[in-house]
Amino acid sequence: MNEKISSLFDSEINNKDVDTLLSKKSKMEGVRSSMSDYQLISDVLKKKTILPKSNLTDKIMTAIDKEPTQMGGLVKANSSNTAVMSFEILPVLASLAVLIVIASTAFNIEVNSTSTNQFLAKEDIPQEIINAHHAATANNMNYFIQVGDSAK
Amino acid sequence: MTFFKKLLTLLCFVFPLLSFAMEDPWLILEKSAKASQQLNYEGVFHSQSSSESNSTHVIHANIDNKEYCLLKMLDGAPNEVFCSGDMVYVTSQDGLLIKKRKNQFLFPSVLPSDIKHLKKNYQLSFGEKKRVADRMAQHIELKAKDNLRFNYHIWIDDKNLLPLKLIVTNNKNQTIEQSTFTTIAFSEVIDKDIFEKNINLSKVYVSKNKFVENYVSNKFWNLKDLPSGFKEVDLISRRVNGLNLLDYQIIFSDGLAYVSLFIRPITRGTEPKEGTVAIGPTNISARYQDGYQIMSVGMVPPETVNTFSGAIEF
């Protein structure tokens, strides 16, 4: 039934099924509710103006309340106390991070101090940059010839 | 023979030796730079960096105080470079490209004519003599005085001072790049026809590098805390494809090492990049600032390119 309702709002249903669906809608409360939800989904996808439907919102909030809260895949609990715990653990984590930095400095352990390094990869460097550099500075003839291709 | 006569005779022998010993050792580099411009020679040299190696046939001549060179790749595509004075013609399977040579020092012409700058940044020492391309050559080491540049080892011909071999090493003494002659022959005269058969020198070629604008009227940036020993030697601007915007390439050198600092406007849909990577012997540092992607590129240690990319202020 839900598939047919979805098809109706996607304009992918034939005329005969439309008649059947509409007649059921007027009779069954469940079908009416589903149609309301699919109407909302369709409006969101088509970026139409949406009026708030307290009915759906309530359902979503109820469903969220029933879901367990997870902390980075390590902590799993059913109560809302988990969220409070996450704030309690933050100072501990921060202290641990500071200790690691101090320890690595003290023992001269090589750490990746420039956190930005992870963002730049070889593939990110435009070839024209390398070529433009070699075109103006290289003493290796091979570089010099290669730059000819991109400088055109 | 009187005492004074003996003393005079002794001085006649000793003085030339003394003057030779007292000569500034750096002068040998200046003479070597001149030799690479003035000598007529033909040979094959082999170049190797971390990822690539190739051999090149070279003919060089100085005719009527004008330098000509013809370099042909012996490996891979048979590309050629022909130099006539400041003009450089690159012929490849994609056609002919004409460029004006500014800071271009193709091996063996790797030394600058002005060595003053080198003295500030490198420590010169003489190593042992050894045979290179069947000729005796003197090893000269230019050791970086700081960690901002690599070390350069040059073997120069014992007789005519032409650089025959170049090795660039990092501070762990690992080879970054090297070029060395495998065969070389010198001659008094080289016929100009050898060069002219490749490029019609009487013909006026139009440079395809139309987008390069040499004049930059508005330097909207400031440079602070540049790595010591590097000075600006060139500024190139290019129009960004399809946009009414320019990007800029500022070139710095310490006499041997070169770094390009690029200032490029970020176009819509382009993600700014930050960090440092190495491609072969070349280090690249990227930083984003005020709508511009700043990148510094050079065969120098990572710290140096990082300092360059952080030196720009708007």
CATH classification of the domain holding B264 = 3.30.200.100
Whether residue A76 is predicted with pLDDT greater than 50 in this model: the reply is no
Residue B16 located in a structural domain: no
Confidence (pLDDT) at B273:
87
Residue B226 located in a structural domain: yes
DSSP assignment letter at A122: G
**Pair B126, B64 in one domain:** yes
Residue B8 located in a structural domain: no
Q: Which comes out higher in pLDDT, residue B50 or B122?
A: B122
Residues of chain B neighbouring A119 (CB-CB closer than 8 A): 273-275
Given a contact cutoff of 8 angstroms between Cβ atoms, the answer to whether B54 and B76 are in contact is yes
Residues of chain A neighbouring B177 (CB-CB closer than 8 A): 140
CA distance B191 to A18: 92
Minimum mean pLDDT range among B56-65, B78-87, B252-261, B300-309: B78-87
Q: What average pLDDT does the segment B239-252 reach? A: 81
Nearest Cβ partner of B103 from A121, A137, A142?
Answer: A137
**Secondary element (H or E) of residue A90:** helix A81-106
Q: Which comes out higher in pLDDT, residue B226 or A46?
A: B226
Domain count, chain B: 2
Q: Where are the domains of chain A?
A: 2-66, 70-106, 122-151
The whole domain housing B223 covers 212-313
Minimum mean pLDDT range among B166-170, B197-201, B260-264, B289-293: B197-201
Residue B185 located in a structural domain: yes
Confidence (pLDDT) at A78:
42
**Pair B39, B185 in one domain:** yes
Residue B7 located in a structural domain: no
Q: What average pLDDT does the segment B60-83 reach? A: 88
Question: Best mutation site among A113, A124, A142, A143 for testing chain B: the one with the most B CBs within 10 Å?
Answer: A142
| Distance of residue B37 Cα from the nearest chain A Cα, in angstroms | 14
Interval B11-49: pLDDT, tens: 555 555 444 445 688 999 999 999 999 999 999 999 988
Confidence (pLDDT) at B290:
87
Arithmetic mean of pLDDT over chain B: 85
Report CB contact under 8 Å: B295, A142: no
Angle, vertex CA B107, rays to CA B105 and CA B109, nearest 5 = 55
CA distance A62 to B217: 65
Specify which of A20-24, A32-36, B190-194 reaches the highest per-range mean pLDDT: B190-194
Q: What average pLDDT does the segment B192-211 reach? A: 63
SS3 B242: coil
Chain A / chain B CB contacts < 8 angstroms: 122
Nearest Cβ partner of A136 from B92, B251, B276?
Answer: B251
**Using 50, 70 and 90 to split pLDDT, how confident is the model at A118?**
very low
Confidence (pLDDT) at A98:
65
Residue B232 located in a structural domain: yes
Confidence (pLDDT) at A81:
45
Angle, vertex CA A67, rays to CA A64 and CA A69, nearest 5 = 105
**Pair B30, B119 in one domain:** yes
Report CB contact under 8 Å: A151, B260: no
**Using 50, 70 and 90 to split pLDDT, how confident is the model at B286?**
very high
Which B-chain residues 121-160 have CB contacts (< 8 A) with chain A? none
